[in-house]
Structures are given as structure tokens and as C-alpha cells.
Amino acid sequence: MSRYVLKRIGTGILTVLVVFVINFVIMHATPGDPINYLMGKDNHNEELRAELEAKYGLDQPMHVQFFSYLKTAATGDLGDSIIYGKPVSQMIGEKVGATLLLGLVSGIMALLLGTVMGIYAARHEGKLSDWLFSGFSYIMNSVPSFWLGLMLILIFASGLKLLPSYGMTSARVSYTGWAHIKDVLIHLILPAVTLTAILIPQYFRIAKSSVLQVTNEEFVMSLRATGMSEKKIFNKYIFRNAILPTVTIFGISMAFLITGVTLIETVFAWPGMGTLVLKAINQRDYPTLMGIYLVMSIAIAVVMLIVDLIYALLDPRIRYQ
């Protein structure tokens, strides 16, 4: 087990390093020199240029530059936004909460719903419910998340006027306390439903195939030979064995989750990192873009590590090696 943990941590650290390398390479590979890029193409402020050059030590050999970049980033300094002048880390900090809210709620809902659907479909394989659930999953797999968001806005917001179409809070009124929470929740519904629907297919697929696979294993037949009730066999033995891949998928789906959150935030003008990304793209605010990429990658690496650890705890074959 400890070997497994160490190896996973090793890969995690390596991933973070790779992200740094990628960022560094991109900075130097873009047309024009990196300072231009950090300052913005049209900025001709000589003082700023001198300051940045000293800070990033551009006259130094590459590997020294790389290490100073690493050091700077490690202290939390991700540079400043070209457009707003604010430190990127601060901007990210302001928006992270909203993204986490949307992302976590949707991720967990998708895991629960998708897994339940998958288990049900596996137990009723070939029947109508299986076809319906599988069909739903297949289609959701093919739907662009942002388009689905637009459709839901069309139907529920402008069409039926049931739910708000953008933002996290009402623009006109400012609530506090419970009313505020309710306000946020109402605004959360459409984006969360969209994201959840998009994420369900992966959980559905893995749950269904896992349950089917485990049910066909020999030990299930052995248990039947003892006279154990189907109910007990399923609830305790099949379930416990089949649920393991779902845990793994949760980790792997993190990258996909982040992509989805970003796109959906732009559709619903949800004030999270996704909106930040959109603005940064439009304004070519590279430091912000790269800072976000860095933060996201590290976050994903950490989550995947935690998920792998949880998996190792759940699967005795790995826990006791």
C-alpha cells in the first residue's frame, strides 16, 4: 500500500512539474518575447519592462529562468493580469468559490444519479428501462454542454419564465441570510442540471458494465449454491465489488468536469473561473489564462491523488499487499 501511495504522489508531483514546464515553454514559444506577452503587446511602458525583466531574469540561461519561475509561482505569485493589474492569484481566489459550488454539486449529483441508473439498468438488462436509460446516456454523451445550457435557458427561463437565466444572484435585489442562500440556489438549478446531465453518462456506463461483470463472476454462483437470497447477494456482495470502478472514474472525470464547468459558466454568466477564462481569452490576458491553467491542473492532480487513495483503502487487494 505504501508503495502504491508513494508512486501516486510521485506521478502527481511530476504532473505539476509538467504543467509548469508547459506554461514556461508556451511563454517562450509565442511570437514576440515573453515580456511582451506578460505586459501585453501594446504596452510600451519602459519601467515596467525593466522591472519585469529583472524579476524574471530574462538575460539568464533557460534553466535558471525556469527555476525562478517555479520559485515565484510557489510563493503564490502568478503574475498580474494585464487588463486589471490585479494579481492573478487574487482574481482566482475571488472566483473559485462559485466554481466549486457548481462543480461539486453537479459532480456529486451526476455520480449518484448515474450510478443508480447504471445499477438499475444492469439489473433490468434488456428491458424497457434499460433501453431508456442507456439511450438517455448515449444522447447526453453527444450533446455539447453549452448548447444544452442554451436550450434549458430557452425553455425554462425565457419560455416558461420559471428560472433565472444568468448570474448567481439576482441583479436587482440584494439579499442576506436565508433569502440569499435561496436566491443562489434558484440560480444554481439550471447550470447544475445542465452539467449533471452531461456528466451522468460516464457514471452510468461504468456502473452498468461493472455490475454486469461482477454478476457474471464465479463467486456469485458459489454464493447462490449456498442458498443465499438474491437480495443479500446483490446488496452486500455484488454492490461492494462493483462500486470500485466508480470511485476510479470520479477521479478521472475531474478533467472533464472542469471543462464542463467552464463552458457552462459562460452560458449562464455564472461568476466563477469559467467567466474569468472567457474574459481573459477575449482580452488576451495571458498571465491570467496561464495562472488558471496552473491552478486547475494542480487541483485536478490533488483530487485524483485523493481519489486514488480512497480507492486503495476500499479495495483490500491494494490495501494489504
Partner 1 sequence: MHRVIEFMKKVWGFIKKDKQLIAGCIGILILFLMIVFAPVIAPENPHYYGPDALVAPGELGHLLGTNHMGQDIFSMIIYGVRTSLKVAVISALISGILGVLIGGVAGFFGGKVDTVVSEINNVFMMLPTFFLILLIVALFGNSITNVMIVIGITTWPSNAKLMRAQALSIRERTYVNAAKALGESNTQILFKYIIPNGIFPVIANTTMGMSNAILTEAGLSFLGLGDPNIISWGQMIYEGKSYITSAWWISVFAGIAIILTVLVFYLLGDGLNNVLNPKSGRK
Partner 2 sequence: MEPVLELKNVSVTYKNAEKEVYAVRNVSLRIEKGDSLGIVGESGSGKSTLAMAVLRLLSENSAVVEGEAMFGGRNLLAMSQEELRELRWTQLAVVFQKAMNSLSPVHRIGTQFEDIYRVHEPKASKAEIKKRVLELFKLVNLPERVYRLYPHEMSGGMLQRTAIALSLLHNPKLLIFDEATTALDVVTQGQILKEVVEMEKTLDMTRIMITHDMSVVAVSCNKIAVMYAGEFMEVGMTKDVLSHPMHPYTKGLLQAFPSLKGEVNELKAIPGFLPDLSKKSAGCIFAPRCPYKTAACEQMKPEPVTLEDGRIVACLAVGGGKNE
Kindly list the residues in this chain that would bind partner 1 in the complex (CB under 8 A). 11-12, 14-15, 18-19, 22, 26, 30, 138-139, 141-148, 150-151, 153-154, 158, 212, 216, 252, 255, 258-259, 262-263, 266-267, 277-278, 281-282, 284, 286, 289-290, 292-293, 296-297, 300-301, 304
Q: Is 216 in the site for partner 2 (CB under 8 A)?
A: no
Q: Which is nearer to partner 2, 68 or 209 (CB)?
A: 209
Q: Which of 244, 298, 303, 310 binds partner 2 (CB under 8 A)?
A: 244
Q: Is 124 in the site for partner 2 (CB under 8 A)?
A: no
Instruction: Give CA–CA dist 150/53, Å, rounded.
Output: 45
88 binding partner (options partner 2, partner 1, none; Cβ < 5 to 8 Å by kind): none
Instruction: Give CA–CA dist 129/127, Å, rounded.
Output: 6
Q: Is 229 in the site for partner 2 (CB under 8 A)?
A: yes
Q: Which residues contact 266 (CB under 8 A, 6 or more apart)?
A: 146, 274, 275, 277, 278
Q: Is 236 in the site for partner 2 (CB under 8 A)?
A: yes
Q: Which residues contact 251 (CB under 8 A, 6 or more apart)?
A: 303, 304, 306, 307, 308, 311
Q: Report the nearest approach of partner 1 to the CB of residue 92 (Å).
A: 14
Q: Which of 121, 141, 137, 139 is nearest to 129 (CA)?
A: 121
Q: Which of 218, 252, 279, 289 binds partner 2 (CB under 8 A)?
A: 218
Instruction: Give CA–CA dist 98/172, Å, rounded.
Output: 19
1 binding partner (options partner 2, partner 1, none; Cβ < 5 to 8 Å by kind): none
Q: CA 284 from chain center: how many Å?
A: 23
Can you spell out the DSSP letters for 191-235? HHHHHHHHHHHHHHHHHHHHHHHHHTSHHHHHHHHTT--HHHIII
Q: Which is nearer to partner 2, 37 or 311 (CB)?
A: 311
Q: Which is nearer to partner 2, 131 or 219 (CB)?
A: 219
Q: Which three cell numbers stand for residue 252?
A: 478521472
| Residue count (the chain) | 321
How many amino acids of this chain bind partner 2 (CB under 8 A)? 23
241 binding partner (options partner 1, partner 2, none; Cβ < 5 to 8 Å by kind): partner 2
99 binding partner (options partner 2, partner 1, none; Cβ < 5 to 8 Å by kind): none
Q: Which is nearer to partner 2, 173 or 225 (CB)?
A: 225
Instruction: Give CA–CA dist 23/25, Å, rounded.
Output: 5
Name the site residues for partner 2 (rule: CB under 8 A).
217-219, 221-229, 232, 236-237, 240-241, 244, 314-317, 320
